[in-house]
Structures are given as C-alpha cells and as structure tokens.
Amino acid sequence: MGFDAAVVGHRIRAEREKAGLSLARLAAASGLTKAYLVRLENQGGNPSMEVLFQIAEALDLTIADLVERTPIRFVGDNEEVSTSLRQFADEEGLPLADVKMLASIRWRGESPPQTSERWRYVYQSLVMSSEIDRERADADTP
C-alpha cells in the first residue's frame, strides 16, 4: 500500500488520544486486541486494510486520515462530519466551505448518505443546481 508503518502507529496513538480513548476502549470499539494495538502504536507494523478500516471506523476517521493525509477536523458550529463525508471530501479535495455546507444539510425522514459515492451524487446535484440558478440570474440581468 505504500505507507510508513511507524507513522501509522504514531498517528493511531495521536488520534486515539485526541478522541479521549484508552487502549482498552479502542480495542473494544475496533474489535482488535489491546496487545495488537499497543504493538501497532509502539512498533508500527504492517496492518491490513481491514485492520486500518476497523481502527478508522472506531475513531470516526478514514483510512486516509491514518496514513498521514490531512484529516478534515473542523466544520464549525459543532456539526458532525460523518466518515463517509470525510472520505468523499478527502477524495475530491473539497474546500472547507463545501464540507461545512454538506455537513449542514438536514435530512427529512431519512439518514444522510452512507457512502462517498452517494455524497458525490448529492454534491454534484447541488453544484449543477447552483449553475442553473446563476445562468437564470444572468439571463434576467439586462
């Protein structure tokens, strides 16, 4: 996969501590053993994608966050940014303003998108709608 195992170990520890989780709580949330997490944090290793996924899910991050890509942290106004939205934002390199806008959407009677593909559809629909509104405004301007 091409990532530095020592960096991943340090990143897991930093994110766990930032989340206020003990090793035991992260182990319980991820389904991994405490001993395995201690070894990962202290010695690095070569965790599988499945292991990285389990840890990322438990920390409400993406795998990209754990392998030293810049994580999206601050959305403002205490809005929650789901893992799927973080993943989509990371894949697309969305500006913070767009992430805030997507995170602020309130879903009537249904849950927010659960995959980055669904977020992509929502985002592209909003961009197209905005372009149509701009074209109409330009057409109405004498």
Domains and CATH numbers, the chain: 5-66 (1.10.260.40), 83-140 (no CATH)
What's the whole-number mean pLDDT along residues 86-101?
82
Has residue 31 got a pLDDT over 80?
yes
Tokens of 94: 């969305």
Helix, strand, or coil (residue 69): coil
Q: What pLDDT, on the 0 to 100 scale, is given for residue 2? A: 55
Q: What pLDDT, on the 0 to 100 scale, is given for residue 3? A: 66
pLDDT above 70 as % of the chain: 88
Q: Please name the helix (run of DSSP H) or strand (run of DSSP E) that holds residue 5, with its range, or none.
A: helix 5-18
Tokens of 41: 């944090």
Q: What pLDDT, on the 0 to 100 scale, is given for residue 71? A: 53
Helix, strand, or coil (residue 115): coil
Report the candidate in 81, 92, 84, 73 with the shortest Cα–Cα distance to residue 113.
Answer: 84
pTM summary value: 0.50
Question: What's the CA gap between 78 and 8, in Å, rounded?
Answer: 27
Tokens of 19: 């989340």
The amino acid that residue 3 corresponds to is F
Question: What's the CA gap between 72 and 49, in Å, rounded?
Answer: 20
- Residue listed under structure tokens 């074209």: 135
On average, the pLDDT of the chain sits at 81
Q: Helix crossing, 96-103 with 83-92: angle to 10°?
A: 150
